[in-house]
Amino acid sequence: MATLKEFIQISKLTGVDQYILVDNMGKIAAHAIKDPKKAAQIVFTCGKNLYAIGKTRLKCVIFSRENQKNFFIFPVGNYYLGVIKSDNMNNIILADTVIKFLKGLLKEK
């Protein structure tokens, strides 16, 4: 896993409004999100269940929201990343951007 300093650069990606990173026990590793305790529980629970369904093939899951600030969950090694997108961002573009960012961090190590 990349260092925390490298990882928190995710907040600078176009289309990322908020984010939270939780480990496989539900502990918050990093965040820039409103109500981090609630978000951590959602990301952890969904991440665990989604992993059980998709195993290692799962790259991203998107939950649509009425306010267009859709919620994304990405598996990241032994962590789960939750991202809330900016309402003017395309879902596919944001997913691809975050996946490329995460792959870049993993290649550096």
Average pLDDT, the chain: 89
* Pairing relationship of beta strands 28-32 and 16-23 according to DSSP bridges: antiparallel
Three-state secondary-structure class, residue 72 = strand
Q: Where are the domains of the chain?
A: 14-91
Q: Counting Cβ atoms within 10 Å, is residue 31 exposed (0-12), middle (13-18) or buried (19+)?
A: buried
pLDDT in tens, 66-84: 887 899 999 988 899 999 9
Element (H, E) at 103: helix 91-108
Q: Whole-prediction pTM value?
A: 0.88
CATH of 14-91 given 3.40.50.1000, 3.90.850.10, 3.30.450.30, 3.40.190.10: 3.30.450.30
Report the alpha-carbon distance of residue 2 to residue 102 in Å, rounded: 9
